[in-house]
Structure 1
Amino acid sequence: MDSEIVQLVEQAGPYLTTALGAYGAGVLSRAEDAAVGATANLGRRLLHAVWRRRDEWGRAELEAAVRDAAGESDDADAAAALRQQLKRALREDEELRRELAGLLPAAGGPVTVTASGARSIAAHTIGTAITGDNATLRP
Structure 2
Amino acid sequence: MQLVEQAGPYLSTAVSAYGVGVLTRAEDAAAAATANLGRRILQAVWHRRGEQSRVALEAAVQDVADDPEDRDAAATLRQQIKRALREDTELRDELAEILSVASSGVANVTAYGERSIAAQTIGTAVTGDNITLKP
* Partners of 2:122 and 2:96 in 1: CA distance: 29
Corresponding residue of 1:58: 53
TM-score, structure 2 normalization: 0.78
Alignment of 1:1-139 (within 5 A): 6-105=1-100, 124-126=105-107, 128-131=120-123, 135-136=124-125
Gaps of 5+ in 1: 1-5, 112-123
Gaps of 5+ in 2: 110-119, 128-135
Give deviations 1:80-121, integer Å, cap 9, x for gaps: 0000000000011111100100000369xx87xxxxxxxxxx
Moved over 4 A (4+): none
TM-score, structure 1 normalization: 0.76
Shift in Å, 1:47: 0.5
* Backbone CA RMSD of aligned residues: 2.0
User: What percent of counterpart residues are identical?
Assistant: 62
* Partners of 2:122 and 2:88 in 1: CA distance: 38
User: How many aligned residue pairs are there?
Assistant: 116
